[in-house]
Amino acid sequence: MEHQQEKEKLTVGNGDAIHAENYEAQLTVAEQLIDHSEESHEDHTDYSELEKSEILKKAEELIYSPDVRKAQETMNRLRDAMDAKILAERPEQIKAWIDEGNLARDFKPQPDEAKQALNTLLQKFKERREDERKRAEEEKLANLKKKQAVLEDIRELAESEEQSNSLNKMRDLMKMWREIRQVPKEFQDELYTRYKFYVDKFYDNLSLFNELKELDREKNLEYKIELIKKAETLGEEKNIRKALITLNKIHEDWRNAGPVRKEVSEELWQRFKNVSDIIILRNKERQEEIDRKRQENYNIKLLLVEKSESAIAVWPAAGKEWSALGKELDALLEEWKKTGPVPATKNQEIWDRFSSARQQFFAARKEFFKNINAGREENLKIKTGLCEKAEALMNSEHFQDTSEKLNELQEQWKKTGPVPEAKNDEIWKRFRAAFDHFYARKNAWMKQRREDDKIGISVKEAIIADMKKLLEQENAENMFPKLKECQQRWANSGFVSGKAYFNLQKEYREIGDVLFSKFKRNNDNMKQQVLKEHYAGVAGSSDGKNRLQTEERKIKDRIKKAQEELATIENNKSFFAMSKNAEAVLKQFDSNIQKLKEQIARLEKEITVIRNTKPGNAQ
């Protein structure tokens, strides 16, 4: 009943008090704006990249973080990262379970120690938040009791007879009232209403002749003018949240200030209200612009999410493609970071969606390279075997054949996939060292061979020159011993390689044919004898066996080529056989067929000579 009377009295006859509802309205608007303008806690850290131990360490650091709201968001993301890691380990655990002879349907995941440790930390964080909340509530209740006690003293002072020290007592009580901070929100209006009522009642009842009363009201006037000036400066404050919190604090100080003279009370209040209205309106407009910009940012980030999800719709099939996809997602993340904050209500949702695409990528990439690495171990075994084969060949003296074999090994190496990165340089250097060793020896051999070629060419040219002189002979008995001597010299003249060999050999045979034809000796028999003597000389050289094998292989190639050509001509002949007026064509076919058969027969005889000349086969 008493409180009701106080409220009724408050609505009439009090210049400051009639604005109580206006105070509350402005404070409510400002508080709503403060809540709405709460700073965004966007965290772009990719916690999925952390190891379990690192997640636990980060969670432990957050338990006593002063920024509880931000810490809570980070805790939630750490929990999600831990769950994702445990889920990624599940296929390997199931595989191990099956490898032990168990059925997949019987698999039950074992409790994860890291997850249990994280749950313990989350519980500690939750308990700490709850403890802080309880302490804050207890503190507010304690403040309520203190303010109620101070208010009771103010009431008694306001209703008691005036004394010389009454004003000083009231000042002390008002100071005590201001120093007591927050109380439960549901009691704030009632306390303030009663506080204003008794303070105003006290000042109204003070003696009209009390100079201290007027002096006190002058001080209150100065104080409230100073509060107005402080409020005016908030128009330049760029941080909306800071401006509104400061404005609320100024309003709180205004409410707790003592009364001023009634004739200036309304004007003073209107000036303060107008400044507050401007600040609130200006910040409201700024907040609306921020909200509009945050919605634009949301639309941009939504597009980035869609791009990320589209990028991972189909997983790459090769390492380079995974690298390219990773760079694409990193570029999207950089663009995300450059884009400003989004509405607080959508922040976590849009980030979780964007982050999910990246986490799926990292998990899939890890699985891909895990399988690749398993194959790389097998590739390492294959390449180790190729190294061993190359090392077995690197000291070979058969340079031509060995070169071909090494080329085959190199082709196999190219077809074999990559090895583990840690072994890549080592295995390649080993393989390359065998090649370098062999080709260094081959190059030295080729250099010596070129020197030998120069000598051999000079000797063979001298023999050909001597054979040309034999063309001047008319007596066969004198010519043939000299020709035989030239043939023996030719056989012992050494090996000449390349084009020079074929040119000299051709000229040697042509001169021999002319000599045999001139002296009417059995040309074929002589040629056969020349071949025997020639290959006997080759066989007697230092690498005669290899040279005979090379010659035999070349002649076989020529026989094969002639046989293929013969088969083609015979096939063409059968095609034209039924044609009219084809006699001339068929005659040409027959001529070519006869020449090829003779060539094949002659080459086969030459192979026989080579085989009979080889060591161990001499007739």
What token pair was written down for 476?
């066969």
pLDDT exceeding 90 applies to what percent of the chain? 6
Average pLDDT of the chain is: 79
Q: Which residues 6+ apart lie within 8 Å of 126 measured at CB?
A: none
Residue 260 has what pLDDT? 79
Cα radius of gyration (the chain): 54
Residue 272's nearest CA partner among 29, 31, 23 is 23
Residue 169's nearest CA partner among 199, 197, 128 is 199
Q: What is the pLDDT of residues 548-581, one digit of tens each?
A: 788 888 888 989 998 888 888 888 777 776 666 6
Residue 328's nearest CA partner among 361, 295, 302 is 361
The H or E element containing residue 285 is helix 262-311
The arithmetic mean of pLDDT across residues 191-215, rounded, is 74
Q: What is the pLDDT of residues 131-158, one digit of tens each?
A: 888 888 889 899 999 989 998 998 888 8
Q: What is the pLDDT of residues 415-436, one digit of tens each?
A: 888 888 778 889 899 999 999 9
Please tell me which of 63-72, 489-498, 578-587 the model is most confident about, judged by mean pLDDT. Answer: 63-72
Q: Is the dihedral of CA 376, 377, 382, 387 positive or negative?
A: positive
Between residues 441 and 376, which one has the greater pLDDT? 441
Residue 14 has what pLDDT? 39
pTM of full prediction above 0.85: no
Residue 33 near residue 283 (C-beta atoms within 8 A): yes
Residue 44 has what pLDDT? 61
H helix intervals, 421-497? 421-470, 476-491
Residue 220's nearest CA partner among 271, 163, 280, 264 is 264
Q: Is the pLDDT of residue 598 over 90?
A: no
Residue 151 near residue 195 (C-beta atoms within 8 A): yes
pLDDT band at 189 (very low <50, low <70, confident <90, very high): confident
The arithmetic mean of pLDDT across residues 445-452, rounded, is 78
Rounded CA-CA distance 156/296 in Å is: 59
| Contacts by 471-475, CB closer than 8 A, 24 or more apart | 471/511, 471/514, 471/515, 471/518
Residue 432 has what pLDDT? 92
| Contacts by 274-279, CB closer than 8 A, 24 or more apart | 275/228, 275/231, 275/232, 276/26, 276/231, 276/247, 276/251, 277/26, 278/235, 279/231, 279/234, 279/235, 279/243, 279/244, 279/247
Residue 20 has what pLDDT? 40
Residue 303 has what pLDDT? 92
Q: Which residues 6+ apart lie within 8 Å of 37 measured at CB?
A: 240, 241, 244, 283, 287, 290
Residue 5 has what pLDDT? 43
Q: Which residues 6+ apart lie within 8 Å of 332 measured at CB?
A: 304, 307, 308, 311
Rounded CA-CA distance 259/257 in Å is: 7
pLDDT band at 522 (very low <50, low <70, confident <90, very high): very low
Rounded CA-CA distance 151/133 in Å is: 26
The arithmetic mean of pLDDT across residues 247-253, rounded, is 81
Q: What is the pLDDT of residues 55-92, one digit of tens each?
A: 888 888 888 877 777 788 888 888 888 887 787 777 77
Task: Specify whether the backbone of 13 is left (phi greater than 0), alpha (psi in -120 to 50) or beta.
Answer: left
Rounded CA-CA distance 511/67 in Å is: 107
What token pair was written down for 559?
């026989």
The region of weakest confidence among 254-258, 482-486, 540-544 is 540-544
Q: What is the DSSP string of 173-194?
A: HHHHHHHS----HHHHHHHHHH
The arithmetic mean of pLDDT across residues 300-306, rounded, is 90
Rounded CA-CA distance 490/494 in Å is: 8
Amino acid 508 reads Y
Rounded CA-CA distance 468/472 in Å is: 8
DSSP state of 160: S
